[in-house]
Amino acid sequence: MLKEKIRPLIERYLSKDVDLGKHIYFKHYYSSIPLEEADLVDILIKELNINSPIKEISKRDYSRIITVNGENIIFYAISNEDWLVIFSNALPHQICKNLKELSKKVGWLLDAWIQGETLEQVYKEYSSEDDKVNIKRKWNPYWIYKNYSRIPTEMQKFFEEHMDQFVEQESEFSLKTPKRMVDKFFKSGFKKELLELAEISQSKFEIHLSNPGDAKVTLEKDGMVVHRAGDLNATLTVLDKAENGIYPLYKELEQIIPQKDYKYYESGIIDINSYLPSKILKIKFTDKQFDEGASIKLSNLLTVGQSDTEIHGIIYKQKGLEFVAYSYLVYDNSEFEILFTEESNNPVLYIRPINTTITGLLYLYRKLKEKFDPRIERQIIDGQDVIGG
Amino acid sequence: MPLEFNRELWGDIHTYYLNKLYSIYHKETIWDQHLYDIGYRGFPDPIFYLKSDNFLTPDFLAIGMKEKDVQIIDIKGFQNIEKNLNSQEEVEEKIASKIMKIRKYEKINKNMISHYLSYRQIDFKSNKEEIIALIPSKIYQKYTKSIKEGAGNKIIVWVIESNKKCYIWKAHGSHLNPVLNDFLDSKNKGISIYPGREDLIRFTRNTPKKIIKFCFIEKMMTYCSRKSIKKFNFDEIDSILTRTDLPMFPHLLRKEREEIWRYCMHTMMSRFHLIKKGRLRNQYEWDKSRFLEQPMDRNSILENIAKKLKIGVHE
């Protein structure tokens, strides 16, 4: 269990901060560079804008400790593709903020993902009916850039007539109430869509835990757990739960990833040593229509991206509403070949990874859910069986 | 007819045939019995240096570890042969003469083969070299006579059937090794090829230049965005494109790849104005670097290049 592995590190390097009642941050990143290979001190000096003394005081197989201004930051490798960064607000505010936003600056880091369902499970399971809950939700669906987007000529008319579908339309709400009131509040006619869209762009819970111990904890969708007060062990239990939530999906997507291993010769020749072809991820948006709106939004999402959606690419083929896109991720040099088509009038994507990592594919999948629609059915298909394959 | 997965960025029909051929020699393609299982090893896009700075580049080199026999294979797809010629006779003549031309590979001798294999640290001395033309079955059915004429008794003809069921079989000539001969015999239906596995090699020497250029630029942009690289040296390019997944042209020699990189860099600089020379020797820098941070800028550069190169929807 994760908590058993990180507890000794916290006891050794952050016990003073825990005793002083400081907030302890657990920020989870996906990384396409293994922790042991990363130039941590360099990155921190550059990205955190630090002038204060900084040095690495310990480097082990799964953990590295950096000291900034006398305060410790723990980097822990959960696997080859993800890190947990643990620090406290004994560090200056700006450094804490930058440590939480490293992925904005570093191309090969991404925010990890605590799924909406997991967040809800945590608050249902660990808090009592009288515990105070503070829920913040923000939905920021994909919108079309005026200057960058690609609208095929034959869809121009539809686009202009339905402009409201394509412009920025964030919705946000915040709710602070005892837990027993939450369901009641939701049932009282609050915007239904927001409720169904569990996988919305941002989601933040602050809960008071009664079980398995007294603690005040904040959980955010972007892989952030904050221990604010009380029993640290209770927070660690929540952290474990939050981190494990993604595991079944992680395992499921793992089988889609193509794998090649190479043998290098001095002449420069590189041979394939072992090889596993990719499978195909099929996503059907069950609550959406196969129409111009879906075609325009998805084709742009997959090629133009957005400031919070690091995807770029080109539309390679287009036939009516259908298209084939090549989409790329800077994060891990991912390349996907994606077919957009229909099935019983619902929009469907067939995603064939040409090159990717599990966390890269997870990111693409997450963005499709968050930015287009979370109500989906997914299926994994063998490469040989797909249409036109 | 709905739109299908095209895989065109994955290469042309030539690359497709080369992948099919490679798969019957590859240890990772376990399916039926393949040439790998009877002791053959294969290498795509080999290069043989002649005296006087010339070289020969057939499509494939196969070696038999038991009999020490060698097959030098050239793929003759003849995709557009009928387009530019007027009469049936002209087409037939052209086919025969093109097949005959691969006799130039008779110049490849035992030493050259040993030398090429030493690049992979394989110690091999050839007993006998055989030249083979690999031809799609549709073309073979239609032009059997001219193909056999062109091949004469010096060239062996293999045929590839690549519709729903994929086979390679021998249509003309015979091999020194009776086991190989038997294996490929049309009476035994030849060798059945694993369906799929078109991704063993992504780019070959025959991949259209525009696709190589597009993919080169995309890979350089994506890699530099990942690491926030504004300047780079020419010497770094090869490792950027081969040490990250998926390597580009991994099966070629480094010096051959560098020729391709030089050519692509030239296009990036003089045609697309994406990079300029840096202050130091061999150094380059991105002309505009906003794309390093903005996905939409990467998209608009790629769209623009695809348009100019007439790729995909712009074809």
Out of A99-108, A134-143, B127-136, B295-304, least confident range? A134-143
Contact check, Cβ <8 Å, B302/A314: yes
Please spell the DSSP secondary structure of A262-319, one letter per residue: EEE-TTS-EEEEEEE---EEEEEETTS-SSHHHHHHHHHHTTT-BTTB--EEEEEEEE
Contact check, Cβ <8 Å, A388/B6: yes
In sequence order, the 6+-apart residues with CB closer than 8 A to the CB of A226 are A23, A24, A25, A26, A217, A218, A219, A220
List C-alpha distances in Å: B263 to B200, B212, B234, B260: 24, 10, 12, 5
Its ipTM equals 0.92
Q: Give the chain A residue whose CA is nearest to the CA of B120.
A: A265
Q: What angle do CA A376, A378, A380 make, to 5 degrees?
A: 170
In sequence order, the 6+-apart residues with CB closer than 8 A to the CB of A146 are none
Angle between helix axes A358-371 and A247-254 (nearest 10 degrees) is 110
Please spell the DSSP secondary structure of B213-224, one letter per residue: HHHHHHHHHHHH
Reported as a single tens digit per residue, the pLDDT across B205-240 is 999 999 999 999 999 999 999 999 999 999 999 999
- Chain B residue numbers with beta carbons less than 8 Å from the beta carbon of A305 are 295-296, 299
Reported as a single tens digit per residue, the pLDDT across A268-301 is 999 998 888 889 999 999 999 999 999 999 999 9
A residues 220..239 contacting B (CB < 8 A): none
Task: Report the C-alpha gap between B266 and A245 in whole angstroms.
Answer: 49
- Chain A residue numbers with beta carbons less than 8 Å from the beta carbon of B196 are 277, 383-384, 389
Backbone angles phi, psi at A150, to 5 degrees: -115, 115
- CB B154 within 8 Å of CB B8: no
pLDDT, position A177: 77
Is residue A201 scored above 80 in pLDDT?
no
Backbone angles phi, psi at A11, to 5 degrees: -60, -35
Nearest to B61 by CA among B99, B101, B118: B118
A315–chain B Cβ distance below 8 A for any pair: yes
pLDDT confidence tier of residue B160, bands split at 50, 70 and 90: very high
B residues 69..108 contacting A (CB < 8 A): none
Angle between helix axes B234-242 and B209-227 (nearest 10 degrees) is 100
Nearest to A73 by CA among A100, A103, A46, A37: A100
For B28, the closest of A274, A305, A352 (CB atoms) is: A274
Reported as a single tens digit per residue, the pLDDT across B189-199 is 789 887 766 67
pLDDT confidence tier of residue B6, bands split at 50, 70 and 90: low
Q: Which amino acid is at B273?
A: H
Edge-first strand order for the sheet with B60-64 is B40-44, B60-64, B69-75, B128-136, B155-162, B166-172, B191-193
Is residue A258 scored above 60 in pLDDT?
yes
A residues 137..196 contacting B (CB < 8 A): 145, 148, 150
pTM: 0.92
